[in-house]
Amino acid sequence: MDNPRRAHIKPYLFAMELPYIEPHKIKMVETIHTSTLKERSRWITEAKYNLFKLTSRQVTVDLLTDSGTGAMSDRQWAELIQGDESYAGSASFEKLRETVRELLGYPFFIPTHQGRAAENVLFSALVKEGDVIPGNTHFDTTKGHIEFRKARAEDCTIDEAFNTTTDHPFKGNIDLNKLETVFKSVPREKIPFVLITVTCNSSGGQPVSMANIKAVSALAKQYGIRVLFDAARFAENAYFIKNREKDYENRTIREIVLEMFACGDGATMSAKKDGIANMGGFIALREEDVYQQACTFNIMFEGYLTYGGMSGRDMAALAQGLKEAVTYEYLHGRISQVRYLGNKLLEYGVPVQQPFGGHAIFVDALKFLPYVPRKEFPAQTLAVELYKESGVRGVEIGTLLADRDPVTRRNRYPKLELLRLAIPRRVYTDNHMNYTAAALANIYARRNFIQQGYRIVREAPIMRHFTIELESAEEKTVLC
Ligand code: F0G
């Protein structure tokens, strides 16, 4: 008979590594909507093949964005109740300002209603006609706010970012040679700042290494140019630094975050991402004179300085969300779920960007649908197919998003044509990921029969992808 005193040793012989678990359990659920292929085909036609025009009731799993779609924690809801709605001097404002100061280390703070509002306010103070703003691929609202002021966003991302299969741990990095070329060819007074987007959404939610942040900062200092961050997913970026960069393994997320921002002079933030808030944003700054200038624009565009477009309760919930976002447990659960979806898709042979990004999986539409011509928007075509197949809503990160060249008015064809599946924070289970992966696998099996995409019927002059109207290229061909 086994020695009972040694029984505890036995299981270890067969021990398997425990999988990650979500660091939360569910207190409240929300019903999602299922539909038939016939219904979805009608709805997407009525929506002019623009997934932004679908109503949420027409969507089963919504991976359109991770922005403002996260689930707040019980502690955030508790904070909501304590929100101070005073117009001036709100205690919730103070709570948020202190949290941001503690995390980012910048003394000056301005709340705004979301990220693009922070861009609008800060760029009103800093960006003039003819300016050039180099950085890693600028997000579309950021680029929009730069181009709206007749300035130019110069993409200096490393080339590895544009090959979806090249293995590189930090595909959000800035190429220092490209950056220095801009510094050398543009007069210093025409470069108000370098912008580092962490993580780099438009190149696939890819992180920027601490080494790169430091090198960019040193180079910019050499030329007397300030460094700003687009901080929407700063905590996810810090997680990747901890896991992938030598020397940071034993540092806490908070320590890494502080060190990242110490390399810069300020940040704009869409708090709808790593703030785990449904609405909110802010500007954080080191320089008082820039702060003073931005304050004037904030009062004009957003509201008084102690609320800036947010209600007191939202500021209180955001302060708590930011604290939760910089815990390793939260980030590990979050990013492991994104990886889970990526691995499932790889299992099915679906071409996805690797390594996986922090907030989303990006499907390489040029590889997935090689027969759809680029002028018929392959990534949008894939997004429509996925919706029809399953009710899963993703978003095109490709030619429609890239807009037309402001001078030539021609379509700008970005190096990558991607379907983004952005995963809301703490909302879906891994089974929703299984469902999404199976739907894409089905389309992949019949991919060679998909040869035609869409053409534009109506578009806005800037940021067109939100409101664009399309028609099937196929229908037109049949009619002709
Ligand atoms: N910067 C980045 C990197 C973003 O991803 C976004 C928004 C913004 C700025 C603008 O912030 O929406 O609060 O005004 N990205 C969303 C997305 C829309 O789906 O990726 P916002």
CA of 17 from ligand 1 middle (Å) equals 36
Asked if 273 is an active-site residue, the reply is yes
Catalytic residue among 87, 371, 413, 466: 87
Residue nearest to atom 5 of ligand 1 (CA): 201
- Does residue 432 have an active-site annotation? no
Give the position, in ligand 1's atom list, of the atom nearest the Cα of 65: 19
What Rg, from alpha-carbon coordinates, does the chain have? 23
What are the tens digits of pLDDT across the range 311-343?
A: 999 999 999 999 999 999 999 999 999 999 999
Q: Decide the pairing of beta strands 392-393 and 61-62.
A: parallel
CB of residue 281 inside a 6 A radius of ligand 1: yes
| Cβ partners under 8 Å of residue 90, min gap 6 | 84, 306, 307, 312, 315
List, in order of start, the domains of the chain with CATH numbers.
37-59+333-472 (3.90.1150.10), 74-325 (3.40.640.10)
* Partners of 200 in the β-ladder: 206
CA 206 to centroid of ligand 1, rounded, Å: 14
Question: 368 versus 203: which is more confidently predicted?
Answer: 368
Three-class secondary structure of residue 257 per DSSP? helix
- Check pocket membership of 270 for ligand 1, CB cut-off 6 A: yes
Strand pairing partners for 362?
420
**Looking at residue 462, what is its pLDDT?**
84
Q: Among this protein's residues, is 128 annotated catalytic?
A: no
Say yes or no to pLDDT of 256 above 50.
Answer: yes
Q: Respond yes or no: is residue 20 known to be catalytic.
A: no
Residue type at 349? G
Distance from the CA of 67 to the center of ligand 1, in angstroms? 7
Q: Ligand 1 centre and the CA of 139: distance in Å?
A: 7
The region that residue 280 occupies, defined by phi over 0 for left and psi between -120 and 50 for alpha, beta otherwise, is left
Q: How far apart are CA 471 and CA 465, in angstroms?
A: 14
What does 53-106 look like in DSSP terms, one character per residue?
GS-GGG-SEE-S-SSS-PPPPHHHHHHHHT----SSS-HHHHHHHHHHHHHH--
Q: Please, are residues 244 and 210 in contact by the beta-carbon 8 Å criterion?
A: no
- 386-416 pLDDT per residue, tens: 999 999 999 999 999 988 988 899 999 988 8
Stretch among 9-13, 150-154, 183-187, 268-272 having the lowest mean pLDDT: 9-13
Model pLDDT, residue 54? 98
Q: Is-catalytic flag, 465?
A: yes
State residue 213's pLDDT score. Answer: 98
